[in-house]
Every structure is written in C-alpha cells, then in structure tokens.
C-alpha cells in the first residue's frame, strides 16, 4: 500500500468515525489496522472522488476481487461503471441520499464486474469522506460480497 493510499484510508476511516462514532471494524489485536483493512478485510471498501462523474480513488483487495479488476484498472475508472446501465439510476439515488444525509445504510443491490457478470452486494454503507479541514473529498462505500452471519455487522 502506498503512502498516498494509506493517507486516503485514514480519511475514509476517520470519516466513518464521524458518522458512526467508531472506526471501521477490525478484529482485536491487529497491529496495523490500515494494512488489515486494505489486504485482509472480509468486506469491500471503496472510495470515489467528488467530481461530477466520480472516479474511484481507492479499492481494497476484497473490492478488487469482487469487481475482478486490478488496482491500476479500477483506480481512475468512473464509479458509475460499477453498476450496469439498468442499475445506475438506483445507484445514483443512493449517492444523492448520502449527499443529503452524510451516510446511508443497509443497501443491497446488483453490481457488475469487469467481465460484465452481475453480482450482489449486501449490508452496504455509503458515507461522505472529509479531509482534515472538513471539506468533502468524495464518498466511500463498504459492502459484503455475500450474506453473512452478522458477527461483523457495523
């Protein structure tokens, strides 16, 4: 993980804490939380910038596996391509809710990978990402690649 990614992951984690009162969940005893979130988290963690056509600026290993992209392929790609054309309007409604409320919970819906294969995401949370001056840097998302037993619910 580059230093730039590490700094971005800190902003993602701190912004989650602003909205939820706690950082992104990691197991107890993890020496380097950020490395664990990046490489070992069982949930996908993504972020896109705040441009008019937002582009991915961060994706952890779980997200890269779900979307079947390499990091160089995914970073810089318009985030709208994470949903099929028919699902983009619903995705846009979710992002508008986040723009208004700062966070949206319990999202479930279809996404599309690099090969055009649809897959479902579960227990999604999307939130505004802020920098140290509280300026918006975009939005982040956490989702599970399959239903789970709830022990990791955030």
> Which sequence spans correspond to the domains of the chain?
3-23+36-144
Query: Taking phi first (over 0 means left), then psi (-120 to 50 degrees means alpha), and beta for anything else, what does residue 85 get?
Result: alpha
56 has a pLDDT exceeding 90: yes
pLDDT band at 150, cuts 50/70/90?
A: low
For 3-23+36-144, CATH number?
A: 3.30.450.20
88 has a pLDDT exceeding 90: no
Contact between 111 and 82 under an 8 Å Cβ cutoff? The reply is: yes
pLDDT band at 154, cuts 50/70/90?
A: very low
To the nearest whole number, what is the mean pLDDT of the chain? 91
Angle at 145 between CA 140 and CA 146, to 5 degrees: 135
């Amino acid at each position: 993980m580059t230093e730039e990614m590490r700094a971005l992951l800190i902003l993602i984690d701190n912004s989650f804490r602003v909205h939820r009162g706690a950082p992104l969940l990691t197991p107890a005893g993890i020496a380097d939380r950020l490395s664990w979130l990046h490489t070992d988290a069982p949930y996908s963690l993504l972020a896109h910038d705040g441009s008019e056509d937002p582009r991915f600026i961060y994706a952890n290993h779980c997200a890269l596996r779900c979307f079947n992209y390499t990091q160089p392929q995914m970073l810089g790609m318009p985030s709208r391509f994470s949903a099929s054309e028919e699902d983009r309007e619903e995705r846009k409604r979710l992002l508008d809710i986040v723009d208004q409320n700062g966070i949206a919970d319990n999202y479930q819906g279809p996404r599309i990978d690099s090969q055009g294969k649809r897959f479902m995401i579960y227990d999604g949370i999307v939130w505004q990402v802020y920098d140290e001056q509280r300026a918006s840097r975009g939005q982040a998302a956490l989702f599970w690649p399959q239903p789970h037993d709830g022990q990791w619910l955030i």
